Structure 1
Amino acid sequence: MNEDFFAAMRRATSSTRALNLTEATAIIQAALAGRPASVEPTAADPDILPPSPGHRQMSPGHRQKPFEVHPEAEIIDVETGQDAQTHAAAQRAGPHERQRRPLHEVVRMLREGRGSAFGAVAEGPLAGMAKPRRPPAIAAGAQFLSRSFSCAAGTRSFKLYIPASAPENPRGLVVMLHGCKQDPDDFATGTGMNTAAEAHGLLVAYPAQTGIENSASCWNWFRPTDQKHGVGEPSIIAGLTERLISEYGLDRRRVFVAGLSAGGAMAAIMGETYPDLYAAVGIHSGLAYGSANDVMSALAAMRGDATAFSGQCRGKSAASQVRTIVFQGSSDRTVHPSNADRIVASASATNTHSAPQTHKARSDGGRRYTRTRYIDEQGIPTLEYWLVDQAGHAWSGGHPSGSFTDPSGPDASHEMLRFFLGTDG
Structure 2
Amino acid sequence: MDARQMSAMVEATRLTRHGRLVEATALIQQTWATSPAARRAPDGQGPGEAGGASSRHPAPSRLLPAQGGQQAQGPSAWTHGLNAFSSRRIQDPGLSPGLAAPAAKRPGGRFDAFSYTGAAGTRAYRLYVPTGSTGGPLPLVVMLHGGTQDAATFAAATGMNELADRQSCLVAYPEQPSSANPGKYWNWFVPGHQRRDAGEPSLIAGITRQVMDRYPVDDTRVYVAGFSAGGAMAAVMAAVYPDLYAAVGVHSGLAYAAARDVASAFAVMRRGPSRPARSPVTPLPLIVFHGDRDVTVAYGNARFLIDQAVAAESPDRGAVTTPTAVTSGGQVPGGHAYTRTSYRGAGGTTVAECWTVHQGGHGWSGGDPAGSYTDPRGPSASAEFLRFFDEHPAGASAC
The two structures have a TM-score, normalised by structure 2, of: 0.75
Which structure carries more helix by proportion?
1
User: Cα distance, 1:184 vs. partner?
Assistant: 0.3
Aligned to 2:3, which of 10, 15, 21? Answer: 15
Greater Rg over alpha carbons, structure = 1
1:334-373 map, 5 Å: 334-351=296-313, 352=319, 354-373=323-342
Aligned to 1:377: 346
Report if aligned partners of 2:138, 2:216 keep a CA contact under 8 Å in 1.
Answer: no
Q: Which residue of 1 aligns with 2:360?
A: 391
What residue ranges of structure 2 are gaps of 5+ in the alignment?
Answer: 18-24, 39-59, 67-93, 314-318, 393-399
Tell me how far apart the structure 1 counterparts of residues 211 and 273 of structure 2 sit (CA, whole Å): 37
Q: What letter corresponds to residue 375 of structure 1 in structure 2?
A: R
1:185 equivalent in structure 2: 152
Alpha-carbon distance change, 126 to 394 in structure 1, aligned in 2, over 3 angstroms: farther
In structure 2, the residue matched to 1:137 is: 105
For residue 129 of structure 1, report the CA deviation from its aligned partner. Answer: 5.0
Tell whether 2:43 aligns with 1:84: no
Percent of matched pairs sharing the same residue: 42
Is the 1:186–1:402 Cα contact (8 Å) retained in structure 2?
yes
Task: Give, in whole Å, the separation in 1 of the partners of 2:36 and 2:267.
Answer: 22
**One-letter amino acid of the counterpart of residue 218, structure 1:** Y
The amino acid that maps onto 2:27 is V
Other-structure match for 1:261: 228
Match of 1:401 among 370, 376, 382: 370
Structure 2: how far apart are the matches of 1:31 and 1:173? 38
**Contact 1:128–1:181 (8 Å) recurs in 2:** no
Q: Does 1:318 align with 2:282?
A: yes
Normalised to the residue count of structure 1, the TM-score between the two structures is 0.71
User: Residue 206 of structure 1: SS of its match in structure 2?
Assistant: strand
User: Helix, strand or coil: the match of 1:318?
Assistant: coil
User: Helix, strand or coil for the counterpart of 1:186?
Assistant: helix
**Which secondary structure does the structure 1 equivalent of 2:167 belong to?**
coil
Cα distance per residue 1:281-335 (max 9 Å; x no partner): 0000000111111111101110015311563xx75x222xx10000000000100
Alpha-carbon distance in 1 for matches of 2:128, 2:28: 42
Aligned partners of 1:415 and 1:131: how far apart in 2?
Answer: 30
RCO higher in 1 or 2 (8 Å CA, sep ≥ 6)? Answer: 2
| Equivalent in the alignment of 1:42 | none
Does the CA-based 8 Å contact 1:16-1:77 persist in structure 2? no
Q: 1:96 matched to which residue of 2?
A: none
- SS of equivalent residue, structure 2 residue 217: coil
SS at match of 1:199: helix
> Relative to structure 1, is the Cα distance of residues 249 and 283 closer, same or farther in structure 2, using a 3 angstrom cutoff?
same
Q: Deviations over 1:146-204 (max 9, x none)?
A: 11111111100011000104245451100000000000000000000011112221000
How far apart, in 1, do the equivalents of 2:98 and 2:301 lie?
Answer: 26
**Which among 238, 245, 251 is matched to residue 205 of structure 2?**
238
What CA deviation, in whole Å up to 9, does each residue of 1:88-126 have, x standing for no partner?
99xxxxxxxxxxxxxxxxxxxxxxxxxx9982437xx99
Aligned residue pairs total: 333
Name the counterpart of 2:65. 121
| Structure 1 position 25, deviation (Å) | 5.4
Q: Note closer, same or farther for the CA distance 1:359–1:131 as it changes in structure 2 (3 Å cut).
A: farther
- State the alpha-carbon separation in 1 of the partners of residues 112 and 201 from structure 2: 22
Given residue 157 of structure 1, which amino acid in structure 2 is its aligned partner?
Answer: A
**Residue 327 of structure 1 pairs with residue 289 of structure 2:** yes
1:170/1:136 Cα in 2 relative to 1: closer, same or farther (>3 Å)?
farther
Matched, 1:301 2:268: yes
Q: Which amino acid aligns with 1:341?
A: R
